[in-house]
Amino acid sequence: MIFASTPISGAFVIRLEKREDDRGFFARVWCKREFAENGIDVDMVQANISYNRSAGTLRGMHFSRQPSREGKLVSCGRGKIFDVIVDLRPESPTFLRHFGVQLDETSREAVYIPPGVAHGFQTLEADSDVFYMMSDFYKPDLADGVRYDDPAFGIEWPLPVSVIAERDRLYPDFDRETHTARHALHQVA
């Protein structure tokens, strides 16, 4: 695996080192030791798949509040997506910055998203599958999000949104002071 840093502190695009022959290819997509050698010391405890019927489907922007330590390793096994992360960690040097990358079934690249960083994606093709490995168990009471089109982040999505959950569409405008205070409260706890 090749770890390419992103403009978001602690987030990486992971490129496969494929071993190809006339059967196809073989590549490692997860190795605890290789991740630790790149400063990512996590245990993956859960895996999920998101199937998306229509191009233009938008899911996100989701994150888990502390004390969750939910990091994600996200890849696209079928189809094509535009994957976006937003740094919501007030102590981070890249606080409030975002980064987007295309993930698809051809490159099979993945993105590692550290805890406290929001994640979302938009499908660029119909019938796209997105695979997640998670470093913490899902805790509904800590699940949160920010709006995909919030002016605080200025994310430019490649397609008009064709399908979106009401929850994702209705998150309130991001308030930096409220978010920072809520984050600090959980840091002490």
| Residues marked as catalytic | 62, 132
User: CB 22: neighbour CB atoms within 10 A?
Assistant: 4
Report angle CA 168, 116, 67 to the nearest 5 degrees: 105
60 contacts 84 by C-beta, under 8 angstroms: yes
Query: At a CB cut-off of 8 Å and minimum separation 6, what does 56 contact?
Result: 122, 123, 159, 160, 161, 162, 163
Tokens of 81: 């997506």
85 contacts 119 by C-beta, under 8 angstroms: yes
61 contacts 120 by C-beta, under 8 angstroms: yes
Gap between the Cα atoms of 29 and 14, Å rounded: 8
Query: At a CB cut-off of 8 Å and minimum separation 6, what does 122 contact?
Result: 56, 57, 58, 59, 81, 82, 84, 157, 158, 159, 161
